Amino acid sequence: MTKDQASPIYTGDIAAQQLEGQEYTAKTQEIPFTDEQHAIWADLFAGIHQPYLLEHICKEYKHGLTLLQLDPLRIPTVAHLNDHITPRTGWRIERTAVRYTLADDWYKKFAQRIFLITDYLRTRDQMEFTPEPDMFHDIFGHLPYLTQEFYARIEDKFAPAYMKAAPDEREVIKRLAWYTTEFGLVIEDDRLNVFGAGTISGRAELTNTVMEFYRLGRDGVIDYTGNVFEQIQEHFVAHKNDIHRIIDGVNGLHQQGQMSSQDKGWNVVHALYEKLGISHEGYFGGEVILAPFDVETIARIPKTVYAFNPMFFVCESFEQMDALLDSYLKPIAMRD
């Protein structure tokens, strides 16, 4: 293989996107979908809407899914989504032709209480995992929450801070959003539940997360008859130095372009554990590390986290999530 033929080194940096067509306007929000696209939607919906998975998703999501009244067999219209969201929380939905972009465009819309959904739907070969957010992720993962005030308040926190933040602060804000609304976990009734839309909308991601909950019990890391959050916190404090070593190691791997895919990424990280002399067992025995939500630790994680999630963060409650997000975002948002 020649140099020109070699795969590009992947660092996770987002390249600027040139739109081939026009961005959607108020008059062109509704677009037709093929029978195959509706069939993909139906299979994605059915694959996740299973009792053994739903029981591990937080109650607020399931309540919102009922309120949103999605058709399991057909992709919803923008009008349907707005009819079920805007009267409840004031947020509205707009379609975008942008598949993946720098965050600035999205935060400008967030500041107007507009949530963007893409016009792109994953293909059959991406049913278990898609490397970029598609309309199923946007709609099925996020929008059930936007029917509820608690989630609207969480989303309302990010844009005011982002618009006033310095560049390095913006990277932290994106990660705070990533580890709450995309991949966050929350304790409900003293059990771990999935909150993040990225986990909920990906069957492989959701299944792997649920398996980690069980692994922690099987391996004696978490005693589910005790206080779950306190035990996660104790493990985090006891292993904090190694956790930071792993994060710094992942940063180095990103800079070398070694985190180019889900499968390859995990193989590389397992090798990283060996290099650092960290035994891949017990607390570190899964494919992710569960830790209490900690702004300092989140700020250390590379901005290229979408290539590999080294950690999932757990909040003791949504009230705690509110307080922790405010601790970082509110002072920035209040600047003159």
Name the H helices within 92-202: 103-111, 135-136, 149-164, 167-177, 197-200
40 is a domain residue: yes
Res 94: pLDDT? 97
Verify that 160 and 177 share a domain, yes or no: no
Structural domain boundaries enclosing 142: 35-164
- Report whether 235 contacts 221 (CB < 8 A): yes
Which of residues 139, 164, 189 is at a domain's end? Answer: 164
In a domain, 328, yes or no: yes
The answer to the question of residue 23 being in a domain is no
Please give the helix or strand (H or E) that residue 115 lies within, else none: strand 114-118
Residue 79 sits in a domain of what CATH number? Answer: 1.10.800.10
Answer yes or no: do 227 and 305 share one domain. yes
Residues 213, 157, single domain; the answer is no
In the numeric block, which tokens belong to residue 27?
């008059």
Q: Are residues 219 and 107 in the same domain?
A: no
At residue 266, the pLDDT reads 59
Residues 271 and 314 placed together within one structural domain of the fold: yes
Token pair of 299 as six digits: 């700020």
Q: Global pTM?
A: 0.91
What is the secondary structure of 179-240 as a DSSP string? IIIIT-EEEETTEEEE--HHHHT-HHHHHHHHHHHHHHHHTTS--TTS-HHHHHHHHHHHTH
In tens digits, the chain (336 residues) has pLDDT values of: 333 444 444 444 544 555 556 889 999 999 999 999 999 999 999 999 999 999 999 999 999 999 999 999 999 999 999 999 999 999 999 999 887 666 788 899 999 999 999 999 999 988 887 767 899 999 999 999 999 999 999 999 999 999 999 999 998 999 999 999 999 999 999 999 999 999 999 998 899 899 999 999 999 999 999 999 999 999 999 999 999 998 888 888 777 766 655 555 556 777 888 999 999 999 999 888 999 999 999 988 876 545 557 789 999 999 999 999 999 999 999 998
The H-or-E segment that residue 114 falls in is: strand 114-118
Same domain, 180 and 320: yes
Residue 123: per-residue pLDDT: 92
d(CA 260, CA 253): 10
Under DSSP, is residue 11 helix (H, G, I), strand (E, B) or coil?
coil
Pair (179, 145) in one structural domain: no
Instruction: Round to whole Å and give the CA distance between 246 and 291.
Output: 13
Element (H, E) at 48: helix 35-48
Q: Which of 141, 164, 187 is the last residue of a domain?
A: 164
Same domain, 137 and 123: yes
CA nearest neighbour of 329 among 143, 107, 30, 6: 107
Within this chain, do residues 156 and 173 fall inside the same structural domain, yes or no?
Answer: no
Number of domains the chain is built from: 2
Q: Give residue 287's pLDDT.
A: 80
Give the residue from 186, 36, 17 showing the smallest Cα distance to 105. 17
Q: How confident is the model at residue 18, as a pLDDT?
A: 53
> Rounded CA gap, 180 and 195, in Å?
8
CB 57 within 8 A of CB 194: yes
